[in-house]
Amino acid sequence: MPSIAQALKNFIVVTGIVILAGTSISVPTVPVEAKSFKHELNQAEQEELKYPEEITSKVMKTLKKETKGPLYYEEALEIIERLKKVEVMDSYLDAYGKKIESEEIRRIVEQIYEIDLNRVSELGAGKDEIYPEEIIEGVKSASPDAAISSLSKVEVMDFYLKSYGKKIDGQEIRRIINQIFGINLDGISSLEGSRVSLYSKDQWISRYDGDLFVVHTGLTDVDVWIYPTAYFTQQSGLSELPADLRDELIQLGFEYNEQVEAYYYENPEGESVSDEFKGRTLGTVIQFIQMNYSDL
């Protein structure tokens, strides 16, 4: 994963190319220093920001720390706009500056990814599932008398992180969230620009204007179904999946289901489909888009 510093370097290179090509760009003659970014953010409308003000401010702080020369406010905003969600999360955590609590992690995930882990927990999905031994041992260490099968996912997360005992970074946080909630934040971040929407755990996990297809998983991730977006139908005139994509999904084990009016797969073992299967499914749909509908 590229670093914030690399993203900044790429931005500077692109800006230099634009200038050399003869295109004029307007920037302040005096840099807006990090201490002034907060004032600029206070004046900004939320619609101008990709992320909430608090997240944007902390990421700008990290950008400033990693920048040897002056950093302009508009430059910082543009860099943040281009960053992947995992990079924004890691940058925010770098600037956080104190031990991070379980509840705060869930708040950060909601602000950056717009995924409500508390709601996922409240739905009770997977309450009786078998967690990895690492998670079970961590919960037992923090609460020896707790019956893990009776705990909500939020409680499992709280107990496990209480027993963690060392500084935790963004990559490790995302790994733990995937183990407990079955939500792969790294994978979700990679969906940006793929033109595939993802609906899971009874909420939109990733969705952008111009997406062409929806990958929809059930509450416990046991089943998956795929259908076109309204935008795809409007632009292509097709109200169902293209025939070639249907054929590829059939090879993965999907079949048409009249009840959901989509191509559908259900794990015959009654367990959540694996990350590997999700990855193959998403990869199939994304590759199909790239080869057939990149200009739609």
What does the block give as tokens for 88?
């924004």
Q: Count of CB atoms within 10 A of residue 130's CB?
A: 11
Residue 292 burial (C-beta neighbours within 10 Å; 0-12, 13-18, 19+): middle
pLDDT at 70: 84
Residue type, 166: K
Burial 143-175, CB ≥16 within 10 A → b, else e: beeeebeebebbbbbbbbbeeeeeebebeebbe
Q: What is the pLDDT of residue 61?
A: 87
pLDDT 10s digit of each residue in the chain, 296 long?
Answer: 455 655 555 544 444 433 333 443 344 434 444 456 777 777 777 677 899 999 999 999 889 888 877 888 889 999 999 999 999 999 999 888 778 899 999 999 999 999 999 999 998 754 446 789 999 999 999 999 888 888 999 999 999 999 887 778 999 999 999 999 989 999 999 999 999 999 998 899 999 999 999 999 988 889 999 999 999 999 999 999 999 999 999 999 999 999 999 999 999 988 888 889 999 999 999 999 999 999 99
Q: What is the pLDDT of residue 43?
A: 74
Instruction: Return the pLDDT at 80.
Output: 94
pLDDT at 25: 38
Closest by alpha carbon to 113, among 98, 92, 136, 127?
92
Return the closest-CA partner of residue 49 out of 151, 255, 58, 32: 58
pLDDT at res. 28: 41
Supply the pLDDT for residue 271: 85
The confidence score (pLDDT) of residue 128 equals 44
Residue 286 in tokens: 């994304």
Residue with structure tokens 């609590």? 101
Residue 194: strand, helix, or coil: coil
pLDDT at 68: 76
Say what the pLDDT of residue 6 is: 59
